[in-house]
Amino acid sequence: DAGVTQSPTHLIKTRGQHVTLRCSPISGHKSVSWYQQVLGQGPQFIFQYYEKEERGRGNFPDRFSARQFPNYSSELNVNALLLGDSALYLCASSFLGNTEAFFGQGTRLTVV
């Protein structure tokens, strides 16, 4: 079975641009969460979606937004990119919102 898949794996953006990151959960999983991992730190919670509804939001500015589609895949959008947004963005899926989370390989975003 395929695990959590994220695309793209790497990308480079310029300050002020917009970026969209994509995540496909494990088949049958209805919950997707997004995390930001800055180099040398542990991942920080950004969003959780369950059944296409936002169930939780971390301490991130409104430049960050996300959505979940009927097939349970998800997009994370970041507007007006800053240098500090450079990080590994991880997607995790779980069957319900409160069960074991499985992580994808992440998208490495570099803002220059």
Partner 1 sequence: AQSVTQLDSHVSVSEGTPVLLRCNYSSSYSPSLFWYVQHPNKGLQLLLKYTSAATLVKGINGFEAEFKKSETSFHLTKPSAHMSDAAEYFCVVSENTGRRALTFGSGTRLQVQP
Q: Is 71 in the site for partner 1 (CB under 8 A)?
A: no
Under the binding rule (CB under 8 A), the answer on residue 55 touching partner 1 is: yes
Determine, following the binding rule CB under 8 A, whether residue 45 of this chain makes contact with partner 1: yes
Tokens of 92: 């995790």
Q: Per the structure block, which two tokens stand in for 34?
A: 């997004």
Q: Cα dist. 20→17, 81, 93, 94, 95 in Å?
A: 10, 11, 18, 22, 24
The reply to whether 74 sits near partner 1 by the rule CB under 8 A is no
Taking the complex as a whole, the smallest distance from the CB of residue 80 to partner 1 amounts, in Å, to 25
Task: Round the CA-based radius of gyration of the chain to a whole number and report it.
Answer: 13
Q: Is 36 in the site for partner 1 (CB under 8 A)?
A: no
**Residue 81 or 101 having the CB closest to partner 1:** 101
